[in-house]
Structure 1
Amino acid sequence: MKKLFLIILLGALSACVSNPSANYNVMQTVENGRLVPQAGTGIAIVSLTFTTLDRDTAEADLQIDGVNGRTALKARLPSDYIRSQSNDADPMGRVFVVSLPAGNYALSRVVGNWLMHGSGERNYVNVETNKPFSIKAGEVVYLGEVHLDMNFQSTVQYKQNSTRDFHHVQRRHDVTDFSNVKNQLLGSQ
């Protein structure tokens, strides 16, 4: 029984290691309440929110192309919500704190999907975006909110929602000082 448990545990752990996007929401170094990038890297803060009629099986991905190829940042229902600091309902989505090597990047597309009840198949939407941004070594940037309206004529909107997003990062990761974060909003290019 112990061997079976260890095999299952090792399999689960190896799946986490082999998933390339598994490390992209891991909290970075925090010193004196600030995010501090590792040598040769910068940190991007970006939120992904979405609306959908399917509140049980919907998923959305931000796809970022750059120095290390493609990075996919995923938010899923029913588990991912952003903590709102007001009495408003917490929006569906996720705030990502991503360590990236210094270089040029582009948010290339936003992809959403949900399970078509009855058929067992997933329906996909794909919105091409091509929003460039850059990361310098030692820099922390806020890219804003990317909102996917997921339906049969899906659209993407870009918003500045740093108050909510920083509140979420503060509550989840004990970051208290955002004075070193530069705005580099995706929708402003």
Structure 2
Amino acid sequence: MKRLMALATVGLMACSTMQQPAALIPTQGGGVALISATVDSTDTLGAKAEADIRGIDDPGFRARVYASRRDVLRTTSAQSDPNGELAVLDLKPGRYVVAGAYTTWGGGGGPSVDSNARQAYIPIGREFEVKAGEVVYLGSLGFTLDNNERATVRDAWARDASHLQATRGIRQVDGLVTRLIAPDGTVFLRR
């Protein structure tokens, strides 16, 4: 991930001097996975979700996609920006799985876990593949944290592309392939 950020920074600097739009390009021999997560909850301070991503071909690989009520997916439009994050994962070609998500809400948002906070695990268990030279958009996991915790898969590429432009200046994504981890509208419920 650090390598991708460094390459993106170099790419942004090079593009800015040549007055060309910045692009998101996978590292040589690798691929990029894009997945966002949003949080909707009555807990306006402490609600958060952490989706766990693991490698199938590389069992040592683990990553988390974080989203909280304090994070914002900034866009270039005038619409209200939702709470959440967009993960840009620099990955080796291979198979991966979004295993599930750990959620917390209702604790008041203090620095430590409140004894009144609700915690739940939402199993997802959806595999995806990343190929060399490919940027794959996996969709957006919309977490609703209330008395029926759930995650809903959405194709929110227009919003997420706007976030890339607003926060990183990326206007072009070469080799983009959309392969949602589940059909648009699929709901995963807490265990």
Q: Contact 1:57/1:114 (CA < 8 Å) preserved in 2?
A: yes
Name whichever of 171-180 and 88-97 sits farther off. Answer: 171-180
Output the amino acid matched with 2:25: V
How do 1:41-60 and structure 2 match up within 5 A?
41-60=30-49
Corresponding residue for residue 120 of structure 1: 114
TM-score, length of structure 1 as denominator length: 0.78
Superposed structure 1 runs of 4+ greater than 4 Å apart: 23-26
Question: Is 2:5 the counterpart of 1:27?
Answer: yes
The answer for the alignment partner of 2:136 in structure 1 is: 141
The reply on whether 1:73 has 2:65 as its aligned counterpart is: yes
**Hey, what's the Cα distance between the residues in 2 that align with 1:102 and 1:180?**
14
Q: Distance in 2 between matches of 1:114 and 1:132?
A: 27
Unaligned runs of 5+ in 1: 1-22
* C-alpha deviation, 1:40, in angstroms: 3.2
> Using a 3 Å threshold, how does the CA distance of structure 1 residues 69 and 179 change in structure 2: closer, same or farther?
closer
Report the counterpart of residue 61 of structure 1 in structure 2. Answer: 50
1:8 is aligned to none
Q: Percent identity?
A: 25
* Alignment CA distance shift 1:74-1:163 (3 Å): same
TM-score in terms of structure 2 length: 0.77
Relative distance call for 1:84 and 1:35 in structure 2 (3 A) is: closer
Q: 1:39 to 1:25 in 2, by over 3 A?
A: closer
In the TM superposition, residue 179 of structure 1 has moved relative to its aligned partner by 4.3
Kindly indicate whether residue 92 of structure 2 is the aligned counterpart of residue 92 of structure 1: no
One-letter code of the match for 1:169? L
Q: CA shift at 1:157, angstroms?
A: 0.8
d(CA) in 2 for partners of 1:131 and 1:28? 30
2:18 is matched with which residue? none
- Contiguous gaps of at least 5 residues in structure 2: 16-21, 185-191
Q: Which residue of 1 aligns with 2:98?
A: 107
Shift of 1:183: 0.7
Distance 1:137 1:172 in 2: 25
How far 1:75 sits from its partner (Å)? 2.0
Cα distance change on mapping 1:25 and 1:108 into 2, 3 Å: farther
Report the CA distance between 1:39 and its aligned residue. Answer: 2.9
Cα displacement (A) at 1:72: 1.3
Q: Give the secondary structure class of the aligned counterpart of 2:160.
A: helix
Contact 1:59 1:76 in 2 (8 A): yes
Mapped to 2, the partners of 1:102 and 1:58 lie a distance apart of 33
1:138 Cα deviation (Å)?
Answer: 1.7
